[in-house]
Structures are given as C-alpha cells and as structure tokens.
Structure 1
Amino acid sequence: MLKGNVVGGVLRDDCGEWVFGFSRKVGRCSVLLAELWAIHDMLQHVWTLGPRKVLIESDNVEAIRILQYRSPALPDHALVFSIKELTSRAWDLIFMHVPRSANRVADGLACLGRGASFDAWCFMDPPLEIVEALSTDLHSAT
C-alpha cells in the first residue's frame, strides 16, 4: 500500500541562515502536485512569518513554469489557484529552478516525515539529520 508523499521546505534569511522549516504529509499524488503543495505551504508559512521579499527555489521545472505563468499545466486545479492567490499578495516573489543537489535540506525535511505519526511538523531549529545538508545546499546553489 502506498503511504503517500511527504513534502518539506526551509526558509533561510538573506545570509543563508536557518529561519524555519517544515514537513507535511500530502497523501498520494503526482510529484508535480507534491511540489506544488510544498510551495503552497511554504508561501503560507512565510506570509505568516513576515518576510516580504522571498526567493522560492524548487528542483521541479514544471512547478516553476506554472508559477511563472509559462505553463498551461493544471490551469483549473484548486491548488494552483490557491498558490496564485498567495502570490498576488503584497510581496516580492522570485521563483527559481535549482538542481536537485541544491535541494537536499527540503528533501531531508520531507524524509523526516516518512513513518512518523504526525501529519505536519514545524522546525524552529534545524533537525540534526539535515545540519550537514544546510551548508552543502548553499554551496550547490551557487
């Protein structure tokens, strides 16, 4: 039996330092929808936390295209509509594709959620399991 997808995300400051992280079970869905759920959840968290100039990185090219209005994929999907509502708020958002090798922290946070009994987790401090990936991601993205 498939257990479904778990997504994760990390918010860093402009120096690359940890601010916040999360992971959440999103159920059975495509890789694209899982990535869009991660972006949606991150946008909601960031809006609540207050930053108004944000760079959203994803290793999913199609998700970035959808968010930049360059893809006709999922045009009537409620999740895409909700993300576009979030992006229309008063903030400066940039969406950027990064290689998978530069996305280890988000992947690590998602892995932490697999097999756990809770559906969602918020991390105010980086879990020990992803500390090494924090610096690796910073250097891989440049």
Structure 2
Amino acid sequence: MAWDKGFRRIIIEVDSLDVIRVLKEDRRQGHICTLILHIQMLLRRSWEVRVLHVLRCDNSVVDRLAKLANSDSTCVKYFEDPPPSIVQILQKDVASISVIYDFFSV
C-alpha cells in the first residue's frame, strides 16, 4: 500500500526480534513461509526501508490495530484515517519518545 501511494522512504516498527532476524536472512533454501518471502521481495524494491525493533509497550497503536483486525472477519483491512478507537492511543504514542533497540535498512 505504501508503494502504491508513492512512498519511497518508510519505517516499519516491529516488536518481535525473531521477525527482524527472519527478514534479515536472505536464504532461499529450506522452508520459509510464503508471507516472509513476499515481504522480503517487497523490501528489495527500489525504496528506503528501515525496520526497527521496538518494545511491545511502545507499539500500542499497532497492538490495538491487530486486536481490531482479529475482531473482524475481513482478511485485509485498509484505513485511510485512524479508527476512532485508536486516535487517543495514537496521540499518546506520537507525544512519547520510543526507544529503538535494533534496526536494519534495506
């Protein structure tokens, strides 16, 4: 979606070091989930992507969005604007300074 909207410099915040480790690997052998392969292909596009590790407590907006997604039967959900239920969390998140523990750039 970011690519389709014309964004060429993005930051992805992830609260799982295991996900970051898997995304950094460029192995084509063995069993790798199709989703991971698709994400790795997206990361190799001609754009600047930074993948940052943040603590789950510093990633409350994403946590809330994930809970919203789990409560809906639709597979993919796109938001042009933040849902009302996360606006306050988003404002609090923007006002705070997150600590970045690890990152890699593509």
TM-score (norm 1): 0.59
Q: 1:54 to 1:115 in 2, by over 3 A?
A: closer
Give the whole-Å Cα distance in 2 for the aligned partners of 1:80 and 1:117.
Answer: 23
Residue of structure 1 in register with 2:53 after alignment = 97
For residue 30 of structure 1, what is the aligned residue in structure 2? none
Larger Rg: 2
The one of 81, 91, 98 aligned to 1:141: 98
Deviation at 1:75, TM superposition (A): 5.7
1:70–1:89 Cα change, 3 Å = closer
Taking a change above 3 Å as real, the CA distance of residues 70 and 140 of structure 1, as seen in their structure-2 partners, is farther
Structure 1: 5+ residue stretches without partners: 1-44
C-alpha displacement at 1:140, in angstroms? 4.5
- Which of 70, 73, 76 is the matching residue for 1:114? 70
Partner of 1:5: none
* Contact 1:59/1:97 (<8 A) preserved: yes
Q: Distance in 2 between matches of 1:101 and 1:70?
A: 29
| Cα distance change of structure 1 residues 83 and 118 upon mapping to structure 2, 3 Å threshold | closer
Secondary structure, aligned partner of 2:2: helix
**In the comparison of the two structures, how many residue pairs are matched?**
96
**Alpha-carbon contact 1:58-1:64 (below 8 Å) kept:** yes
Q: Distance in 1 between matches of 2:33 and 2:46?
A: 23
Equivalent position SS for 2:10: strand
Specify which structure has the bigger relative contact order, considering alpha-carbon pairs within 8 angstroms and separated by 6 or more residues: 2
